Amino acid sequence: MSAWSVIGLGLAIVGALLAAPGLILLGGLTLLSRWLTTLWSRYGLRAVSYQRRLGSDRAVWGDEVALDVDVWNGKLLPLPWLLADDFATDGLAVQGRRLAASDLPGRGSLQNSWSLLWFERVIRHLRIEARRRGAFSFGPVRLTVSDLFERGTNSEERDLPATLIVRPRSLPVRSREPARAPLGSTRSRSSLFHDPALFAGVRPYAAGDPLRQLHWRASARLDRPVSKRFEPVHERQVLLVLDLQTVEGPHWLMLYDDEMVEGLCVAAASLARRLLRDGAACGMLAGAQLSGGGQWTYLAPETSRGQLGRIDDALARMRPIIAAPFAALLDAVPRRLVPGGTVVTLGVRDPSAFAGRLRRLQQLGFRTEHVAMGASAQEHATLLQKLGLRSRVGELDPDWRRADALVLAD
């Protein structure tokens, strides 16, 4: 019982003992005053619902994503002031809003305040501008109500986890020399040998197909002869190895050029899309930390429909914090790629530090190709070419934001 309540009760009791109704009145008023001043901090957060609805959990850089904030005061007591601190990863851009500083490291607060009547529901429509690549996580939400007659407040935190992944741009890939394939050799449309263990579906029967290749059940079901189709013994596998270190020096320095990091991500996404569209099995290897956990990324080469999404998601989650040196990544390639596969390295740094590793990969039977980017791209490409290694220059003109294509040149 608070001091005010004691005073109020005391006045009422004294009033009753002295038969002084005036004191009873004052005691009652004091008790009620105290009750009224702390009413909201005691009961304000009861039956208050807060929901956050994202229009989509994936977006591409430049998109706008709808964000609905839905709050409902499900009780008779009106709320003069309800504040919601919706914590989100710093850098999230909400139209017409700025994230307020918060006490959680690396997170800002999307603040919304309302005044709600009894059983009033308010849905606020906001728009998130995907201005930065990344994985933006939401939650927890801190709801605060304030008393009307005092400065007392009451807060509670609710877990409302959600994530918005902003993927990098992916652009068409063009070659300065149209006759040349974007990367490596042109793909052969047919394969001489098939792997009978890799069933890849059926196709209409063609004259000359061996009888054992007929799919009898499917033929019976379709009422026309169909033959089994198999994957080639060696499909074209390409592994994109991304060097996200943009500043020369030890990898642990955590210095980076933001523009170049973004440019590399855009280039990687563009190359992956092109390779997958051309039918190659594309994978990715990178030694950068991922938001949400993970020190490096490895996606095995695949041709499946979801592979591009996985690569884009991984690129979205990548942070410019290098967890493993690039040379170590190249050393790990033979364990992760079938011999004969293509290793496409992508970076802005001087390649002389890892040229030896590329040569070794070549000797192990891998095709290697380096895509040099950044201001010294031409110089770096020439250096590797002189060493007998395939290298090309990747350009995003004028920058990764406004470029209409990733141009590859010798």
Partner 1 sequence: MRWSWRTEGPVTVLALVAEGAWLAVVYAAVQVVIGEQAPLLGTLELAIAAAAAALLARRGLLDPDERPLTFFAATVAAGAVGWLVSPAARELLAAGDLLGAIGQHPGGWLAAVAFLRGIGRGFEVDDRAASRLVLWGTPGLALPWVAGQLSAQPLRGLFVEQAFVASLTFVSAGFMAAGLARLQVIGQETGVDWRANRSWLGLLIGVLAMVLAVGVPAAYLLGLPIDSVARGLLGPLGTLLGLALLIVLLPLAWVAGLLTQALLGLGLRLPAPAGPATPGAPFGFPETYDFEQVRGGLLAVGIFWIGVLLLAVIVARTWLRRRARRTLRTASEERFIHLPETRVRLGMPRVRLPRLRSASVPHDAVTAYLAALQLLAPSDLGRREAESPRTHAQRVGDRRFSLLAVDYALARYGGRALTRHEHQRALERWRRLRARLPSLESRDE
Number of residues that bind partner 1 (CB under 8 A): 45
Q: Is 122 in the site for partner 1 (CB under 8 A)?
A: yes
CB of 15 to partner 1, least distance (A): 9
Q: Is 125 in the site for partner 1 (CB under 8 A)?
A: yes
Kind and range of the H or E run holding 233 = none
- Binding partner 1 (rule: CB under 8 A), the pick from 90, 150, 302, 350 is 150
Residue 45 interacting with partner 1 (CB under 8 A) = no
Asked if 20 touches partner 1 (CB under 8 A), the answer is yes
Among 54, 93, 104, 126, interactor with partner 1 by CB under 8 A:
126
Cβ(23)–Cβ(14) below 8 Å: yes
> Shortest approach of partner 1 to residue 30 CB, angstroms?
5
Q: Terminal CA-to-CA distance of the chain, rounded, Å?
A: 82
Shortest CB 142 distance to partner 1, Å: 15
Contacting residue, 103, 105, 151, 189, with partner 1 by CB under 8 A: 151
**Alpha-carbon distance 366 to 285, whole Å?**
15
Selected from 5, 33, 186, 352, the binder of partner 1 by CB under 8 A is 33
CB of 126 to partner 1, least distance (A): 7
Residues 21, 354: Cα–Cα separation, whole Å:
94
Candidates 270, 263, 265; CA nearest to 170 is: 270
Q: Give, to the nearest 10 degrees, the angle between helix 3-17 and helix 21-37.
A: 160
- β-partners of residue 157 are 142
Neighbours of 370 (CB within 10 A): 27
How would you label 19-56 residue by residue, b for 16+ Cβ within 10 Å and e otherwise? eeeebbebbeebbeebeebbbbbeebbeebebebebee
Site for partner 1 in 55-114 (CB under 8 A): 72, 74, 78-81, 83, 113
User: Does residue 245 touch partner 1 according to CB under 8 A?
Assistant: no
Contacting positions for partner 1 (CB under 8 A): 4, 7-8, 11, 20-26, 28-30, 32-34, 36-37, 72, 74, 78-81, 83, 113, 115-126, 146-151
